[in-house]
């Protein structure tokens, strides 16, 4: 069968794109997903802790060992089911700053300024807290402010304000700076992933065909035109043709991998892996960015304010019962309930770090086992890192994960900003409103104080915020892969629409901008058809 459009990847962007393209009943759309349809726990918010390292729903990528980060192989979880990473992420909803998108526009990307994308964010939102004129309330994507009450949150808010940081009623409004209750893709105690918000209503349409457990091997080219894709399902290779376009929405790691497997990329890299060059495009897999995420942990003096105490033993049973009867409690929470967007230097025009305040502590980001004593965590990342890495195939086998190199902390600005972020986390916790709750910092510990000691902690202990972007960069010139219409340079009938096209890192978690790209791609395709 031939389809008008073939979308590879049913994640944050791909699901939104499929929903919008299939609105026209005269348009046939095939949506391919390498993972499964869903998981029985996927709508329970706390499932992000269960899925962080779970085979079957998670690609479980790992980075290459690099000297700059202690020669560690750092885990990179990515969603592997309908909804993609929106089905396993921490659910924190952040649009980013107007400056982010104005910067994209200033790079020559027409139609990507804040003025252009703000209405798209508004269109996709179903925000349950009306009264903010810049927020959408009728879109597919369910969003709400975290309602959980905890004296710790108020103490942390007061602590931040006491040392000069402002409160912010809506960090997704015109001004991002300040401390705020987080907004999350949660409503009624249920995760609002794109599989539920976009694909569930769209599946009733006869013109949308969704195939799961379909591993895309490559896009097919005839000359300079993309004519279809090849995928494998149930051990059989299948070729599908398209009338109009193929759109890769497989994410910051898999989209460049598919391009290279198709013979699109750097000739040197392709030839090393025995792949014939179909189209030279040097920037494929370059410009890779992610957020390095220091996590600082404290023991608390009041056991009941920490989920280390409230969600273990008989307390856990109570939390489970509470969730299934009222859809509240620990199981209804995102990865964080309170956040802050702050400046490390007062002269900065906009915030350059984001903090997330977490009312529990775990032994490691990967294992997610709660400590036996009451604890809390503050995580912080530099909003717009300068260090650039890469993602490239290591063989011609589609099932072999690519070589992922972060190159974290290779830029001096990144080192300085992250050291300052750790100091600012500590300053908030050391403020007077936290006196009734603060016991001791146990990780990295109170002995880690100098810039050199903090940098050593960053390099040897810290992992990522799980926000891989940039590997199919949008723009013009030799260091880009797609143009401002998301078309792959030099080819017809092939676009990329996901976080891989971000020219720079948006200021915050990347799920919301990824969904926006899927929505925007649909607009661009409809206008060109």
The 10s digit of each residue's pLDDT in 468-483 is: 999 999 999 999 999 9
Q: Phi/psi at 345 (nearest 5 deg)?
A: -135, 135
Q: Is the pLDDT of residue 11 over 80?
A: yes
The token duo for 136 is 């959408």
- What would the DSSP string read from start to end of 182-214? PEESEETTEE--HIIIIIHHHTT-TTEEEE-S-
Q: Using 50, 70 and 90 to split pLDDT, how confident is the model at 529?
A: confident
Residues 297-311 have a mean pLDDT of 95
CA end-to-end distance (rounded Å), the chain: 20
Q: Looking at residue 482, what is its pLDDT?
A: 98
The 10s digit of each residue's pLDDT in 202-241 is: 999 999 999 999 999 999 999 999 999 999 999 999 999 9
CA angle 170, 361, 411 (to 5 degrees): 70
Q: Which residues are CB-contacts of 214 (< 8 A; sequence separation ≥ 6)?
A: 32, 33, 34, 231, 232, 233, 238
Q: Looking at residue 1, what is its pLDDT?
A: 78
Q: Looking at residue 131, what is its pLDDT?
A: 67
Q: Looking at residue 80, what is its pLDDT?
A: 98
Q: Where are the beta strands (DSSP E) in 359-420?
A: 375-382, 390-392, 403-405
Cis peptide before 409 (omega within 30 of 0): no
Whole-angstrom Cα distance, residue 301 to residue 130?
A: 37
- This model's pTM is above 0.85: yes
Q: Is the pLDDT of residue 78 over 90?
A: yes
Q: Is the pLDDT of residue 279 over 70?
A: yes
114-124 vs 98-106: helix axis angle to the nearest 10? Answer: 130
Q: Using 50, 70 and 90 to split pLDDT, how confident is the model at 366?
A: low
Q: Looking at residue 123, what is its pLDDT?
A: 97
Cα four-point dihedral sign 261, 267, 269, 271: positive
Residues 395-422 have a mean pLDDT of 98
Q: Looking at residue 117, what is its pLDDT?
A: 98
- CA-nearest of 177, 109, 209 to 503 is 109
The 10s digit of each residue's pLDDT in 96-120 is: 999 999 999 999 999 999 999 999 9
Q: Looking at residue 365, what is its pLDDT?
A: 65
What kind and span of H or E run contains 123?
helix 114-124
Q: Is the pLDDT of residue 420 over 80?
A: yes
- Mean pLDDT of the residues in the chain: 96
CA angle 408, 413, 416 (to 5 degrees): 90
The 10s digit of each residue's pLDDT in 503-521 is: 999 999 999 999 999 999 9
Domains and CATH numbers, the chain: 2-121+145-528 (3.50.50.60)
Burial (0-12, 13-18, 19+ Cβ within 10 Å), 211: middle
Q: What is residue 272's three-state secondary structure?
A: helix
Give yes or no for a contact between 20 and 522, defined as CB atoms under 8 angstroms apart.
Answer: yes
Residues 315-331 have a mean pLDDT of 93
The token duo for 250 is 């497989």
- CA-nearest of 4, 5, 11 to 517 is 11
Give yes or no for a contact between 305 and 153, defined as CB atoms under 8 angstroms apart.
Answer: no
Q: Looking at residue 133, what is its pLDDT?
A: 80
**Which region among 42-46, 70-74, 241-245, 360-364 has the lowest average model confidence (pLDDT)?**
360-364
Report, as residue numbers or ranges, the catalytic residues: 467
Q: Phi/psi at 436 (nearest 5 deg)?
A: -70, -15
Residue identified by tokens 């179909």 is: 278
Whole-angstrom Cα distance, residue 230 to residue 332?
A: 40
The token duo for 311 is 């969600």
């Amino acid at each position: 069968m031939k389809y008008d459009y073939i979308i590879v990847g049913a994640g944050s962007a791909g699901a939104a794109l499929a929903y919008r393209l299939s609105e026209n009943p005269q348009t046939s759309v095939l949506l391919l997903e390498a993972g499964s349809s869903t998981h029985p726990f996927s709508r329970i918010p706390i499932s992000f802790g269960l899925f962080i390292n779970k085979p079957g729903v998670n690609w479980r990528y790992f980075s290459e060992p690099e000297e700059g980060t202690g020669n560690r192989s750092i885990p990179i979880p990515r969603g592997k089911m309908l909804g993609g990473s929106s089905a396993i992420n921490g659910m924190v909803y952040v649009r980013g700053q107007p400056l982010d998108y104005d910067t994209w526009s200033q790079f020559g990307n027409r139609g990507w300024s804040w003025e252009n994308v703000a209405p798209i964010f508004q269109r996709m939102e179903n925000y349950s807290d009306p009264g903010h004129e810049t927020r959408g309330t009728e879109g597919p994507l369910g969003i709400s402010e975290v309602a959980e009450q905890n004296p710790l949150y108020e103490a942390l808010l007061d602590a931040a304000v006491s040392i000069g940081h402002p409160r912010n009623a809506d960090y997704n409004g015109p001004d991002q700076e300040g401390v705020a209750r987080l907004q999350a893709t949660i409503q009624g105690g249920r995760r609002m992933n794109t599989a539920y918000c976009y694909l569930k209503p769209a599946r009733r349409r006869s013109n949308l065909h969704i195939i799961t457990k379909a591993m895309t091997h490559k896009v097919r080219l005839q000359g300079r035109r993309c004519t279809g894709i090849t995928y494998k399902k149930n051990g059989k290779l299948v070729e599908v043709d398209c009338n109009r376009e193929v759109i890769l929405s497989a994410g910051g790691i898999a989209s460049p991998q598919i391009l290279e497997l198709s013979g699109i990329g750097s000739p040197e890299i392709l030839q090393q892996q025995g792949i014939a060059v179909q189209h030279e495009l040097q920037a494929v897999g370059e410009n890779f960015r992610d957020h390095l995420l220091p996590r600082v942990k404290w023991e608390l003096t009041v056991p009941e304010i920490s989920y280390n105490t409230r969600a273990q033993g008989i307390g856990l049973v109570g939390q489970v019962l509470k969730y299934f009867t009222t859809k509240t409690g620990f199981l209804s929470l995102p990865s964080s309930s309170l956040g802050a967007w702050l400046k490390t230097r007062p002269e900065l025009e906009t915030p350059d770090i984001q903090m997330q305040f977490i009312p529990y502590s775990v032994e490691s980001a990967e294992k997610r086992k709660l400590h036996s004593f009451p604890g809390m965590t503050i995580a912080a990342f530099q909003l717009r890192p300068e260090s650039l890495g890469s993602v490239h195939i290591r063989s011609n086998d589609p099932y072999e994960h690519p070589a992922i190199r972060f190159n974290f902390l290779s830029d001096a600005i990144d080192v300085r900003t992250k050291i300052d972020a750790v100091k600012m986390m500590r300053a908030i916790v050391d403020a007077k409103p936290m006196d009734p709750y603060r016991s001791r910092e146990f990780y990295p510990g109170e002995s880690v104080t100098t810039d050199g000691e903090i940098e050593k902690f960053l390099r040897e202990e810290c992992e990522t915020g799980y926000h891989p972007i940039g590997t199919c960069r949008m723009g013009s010139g030799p260091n880009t892969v797609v143009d401002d219409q998301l078309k792959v340079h030099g080819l017809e009938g092939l676009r990329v629409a996901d976080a891989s096209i971000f020219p720079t890192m948006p200021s915050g978690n990347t799920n919301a901008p990824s969904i926006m790209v899927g929505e925007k791609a649909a607009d661009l395709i409809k206008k060109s058809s």
